[in-house]
Amino acid sequence: MALQNLRVVLVRPKRSGNIGAAARAMANMGVGDLALVAPPHALNRFHAGVMAVHARHVLERMRVYSTLAQSVADCGLVVGATCRRGPYRDGSRPLRDAAREVVEMVAANRVALVFGPEDHGLANDDLRVCHRLVTIPADSRYPSLNVAQAVLLCCYEIFLAAGAAADGGGGQAQERPLASSGAVELMYEKLRDAFLSVGFLHADNPEHIMFALRRIFGRSGLEERDVRILLGLARQIRWYADSGWKLRAEASAASETSGCGCSPGR
């Protein structure tokens, strides 16, 4: 089954019962890889097991991480589930469309579905790590789903889309290996440094524009060679900026030794 490359990540889950219910929902839809990020210290494995019923094997395989970035470091595609609107949540796609894309990617890539804590969903820092956002359609008067219910709907749509793809009805599942989340994060660091060095980003809030760029590249789905090109851009801008500083420093040294106190440029 192709869904062995699909990972469900619960970020800072609060209730052990929800973890078990999510494990059951995953098993119902043929998904077995569960990761927790910063779960409660008092994780009640008994209660989780009661809710998992016949999906305890999912709980036994479950891994625990301290950060979201670590939990998805080996993933080519990281999809964050959200039901809220707000800053940094634009460009979110409806679940059914996103499920088709996940199925296209999951044959050749590890794909993570990321869910936030029960009360507030994913925080802006979590969203930064996500390449795509998906919105679960729901009634606007009460759009906030229980986290295990959200896990179920996402896994269900992907399970169905995978079946449609296997039947030949779901379009051509394309083998397009994506860059790992770890490599992409490193690239964003280098781009941020480069853009800061030429004044494109403001030092007091570089993340605002970086969010927008993450969204653009996230929608695109970066392959390894794309990352190499963008790293090359970052390196060249950085080199250019550094050599500019050297020139400025030389110019200012020259003006100091020349006996003339006027400063060329700034």
Q: Does 86 bind its own copies (CB under 8 A)?
A: no
- Site for its own copies, residues 42 to 81, rule: CB under 8 A: 51, 53-55
Number of residues that bind its own copies (CB under 8 A): 79
13: left (phi over 0), alpha (psi -120 to 50) or beta: beta
Residue 231, token pair as written in the block: 């790293």
CB of 34 to its own copies, least distance (A): 14
Question: Which residues in 158-177 contact its own copies (CB under 8 A)?
Answer: 159-160, 163, 171-172, 174, 176
- When the beta carbons of 30 and 70 are compared against its own copies, the nearer one is 30
Q: Which stretch binds its own copies (CB under 8 A): 37-45, 67-75, 178-186, 226-234?
A: 226-234
66, 39 contact by CB (below 8 A): no
* x/- track of binding to its own copies for residues 178-217 (CB under 8 A): -----------------x--xxx--------x--xx-xxx
User: Contact at 8 Å (CB) between 127 and 107?
Assistant: no
Alpha-carbon distance 81 to 146, whole Å? 12
Instruction: Report d(CA 67, CA 79) in Å as an integer.
Output: 16
Separation of first and last alpha carbons in the chain: 63
Residue 96 makes contact with its own copies by CB under 8 A:
yes
CA distance 8 to 14: 16
Q: Which of 87, 139, 203, 204 binds its own copies (CB under 8 A)?
A: 139
